[in-house]
Chain A
Amino acid sequence: MVDLLGSVRGGRDVRPRRNPAGTPVRTYLRLAWTWCRAMAQYPASLVLMSLATSLGAIAEIGAVLVVYTHAGRLAGFDVHEGLLIAGLATTAFGCANMLMGSVESLGQHIRTGTLDAMLVRPVSPLVQMATDRFAPRRLGRILPAAGVTAYALAAAGIDWTPGRVLALTVFLVSGTAIACAIWVIGACLQFVLPDAREAAHSVTYGGQALVEYPLSVYSRGVVRAATFVVPLSFVSWQPALYLLGRPDPTGLPDALRLATPLVAVLLCALAAATWRFGLRHYRSTGS
């Protein structure tokens, strides 16, 4: 035991690291991978859960499809353009749900004291919480959404230029980042109100449902709120307008869509600040 300890402790002292936990991304991937391997020990359960999850996503997009087949066009958008908007929204929120969805259990972690356990480990509690019970079954949501998006991109008659290909990548990353930030900010409510989980769902799940349709079907106030208050429109609406090369029918400046990556960065910074503020509040109230 003494030898061993020498090797474990010695290892740390010989190679001092600035951050003992390493980069959060690497730690995230390692922890998520460990969870995936653990889940893979029950393959039947994993497959069934993934199928059930994908059915949910398919039903959601099916509902969008029903609307367009009945109405033909919605606020000037045809079925392929509509599927592009819905696909982008579902993909981004699906990815965010997989990456950050577990943070919504914050209130439960506070109540059961597992947050304290996370605070005494050398890894950011946000990373620990996000990877807690990391669910590979949520891929079941992303894959059909990504498939629909790919189909719509091909069918909507987009004039593909290298710039648009690059923009698509940037939009997907930005949309996911915005959705992740919304999940985290929603979870932070639970630092103050332990039962705010359902309230946060109105913005996360509710927000996704909102931006599955062209924003021009909503009233002016809703559009402004979804652009400037909770910037949900940058997840699907603004990117779709850019890719389709359409002017903004809601009367907002067309240049707004170019701000999508900036909005993502700002919202992530806001989410990080909110998280830190919430954690400081928790650590100074010590429930």
Chain B
Amino acid sequence: MPPKTTAVPARACVEPIIEAVGLGRDFTVSEGPFLRRRRRTVSAVRDVDLTVFPGEIVGYLGPNGAGKSSTMKMLTGILSPTQGRVRVTGLEPARRRTRLAARIGVVFGQRSTLWWDLPLRDSFELTRHMYRVPAADHARRLAELTALLELGPFLSTPVRQLSLGQRMRGDLTAALLHGPRLLVLDEPTIGLDVVSKSTIREFLLRLNAEEGTTILLTTHDLGDVERLCERVVVIDQGRLAYDGGLAGLRASVPSPRVLVVDLVGPAAPLTVEGARCVRVDGPRQWLELSDNPARVIAEVTRRHEVADLTLREPDIESVVAALYRRSAATAG
């Protein structure tokens, strides 16, 4: 396992790679029947302050429609912001989109940036011309990435015939051939199987550790977050709900451990001091712990015949869900 890079020391003298202050985006939507159509302003993103330093891996989380994609589009220059200011690698994305594009790599998990009918190798050749990478550099870098991502067996296969995992590895390669300083990933592991996910996560960690590439990723896969991100930013209803370490996120929302008890037969919900039964499914029961697990386990095994026991740590998924609920409550 390659070591994770820790936060860059002496930040004061390092230029941030992403710097957003009060970033916001309003959309005007027309609604209602024709002739009585009304225009209404909706904010997709509001007051987002985000500073990312070179070498960081930042997870950008939020439920669907929270403003993740809008933020990504503003950071990459696809969408112009309506409020605040943003700089990425020192450039204003919406105005210097083309220049910025040469410095960053972008991968959309849901749609490929490769050319459907072309073999992967030709797609990379097109990419090379667009980024004007010298042929020798391109060949070396492609060889490196081919080895790391095991692209060899399907370099000559048209993209439409690739599996989703192969395609994603191809997309990552296309985004990295020009050696970008910042990699922006929009749901890079969506729809992939466990092995493909793991390949991509390990590759990203290595890229970050060896080349110092800054990575900003959105994901719904909290396995990505737990494996990759030391820092998470949570956006909900267009506003930042959390920005900090993964451990801090867990601590910020109390979410208890759960004891899963498999009894020998179905039974009424268990009542044990220090635990609350939250779910029953046949002989299996879920107990939410508010006390020392050892005491609860002792109590349960003393009073019932138990086939199996599992103790579950709070996963990041329930932590984030709790955070969404909390921010919804404060907003409402």
Contacts and interface: CB of A to CB of B under 8 A. Distances in A.
- A and B, one complex? yes
Nearest to B93: A120
Interface string A109-126: 000111011011111100
B276 interface: no
B78 A119 contact: yes
A25 interface: no
Contacts, number: 111
A59 B126 CA distance: 36
Interface residues of A, number: 39
B133 A8 contact: yes
Interface stretch (B6-14, B98-106, B294-302): B98-106
A116 B130 contact: no
Nearest to A117: B113
B130 A27 contact: yes
A124 to B, nearest CB: 7
Interface stretch (B117-125, B190-198, B311-319): B117-125
A27 B128 CA distance: 11
Contacts of A2: 210-211
Nearest to B213: A5
A113 B111 contact: yes
Given A7-B137, A27-B129, A286-B73, A38 B97 contact: no
B205 to A, nearest CB: 13
A286 B210 CA distance: 35
Contact of B130 (A121, A133, A283): A121
A77 to B, nearest CB: 44
B136 to A, nearest CB: 8
Contacts of A27: 129-130
Interface string A244-287: 00000000000000000000000000000000000000011110
A113 B108 contact: yes
B98 A116 contact: no
B141 interface: yes
A261 B115 CA distance: 37
Contact of A123 (B122, B130, B207): B130
Interface of A: 1-2, 4-5, 7-9, 11-12, 17, 19-22, 27, 30-31, 34-35, 37-38, 112-114, 116-117, 119-124, 128, 132-133, 283-286
Interface of B: 25, 27, 70, 73, 76-80, 94, 97-99, 101-102, 104, 106, 108, 110-111, 113, 115, 117-119, 122, 125-127, 129-134, 137, 140-141, 144, 148, 178-179, 181, 207, 210-211
Given A35-B126, A122-B132, A286-B25, 7 more contacts: A4-B140, A30-B129, A113-B111, A116-B73, A117-B106, A119-B78, A128-B130
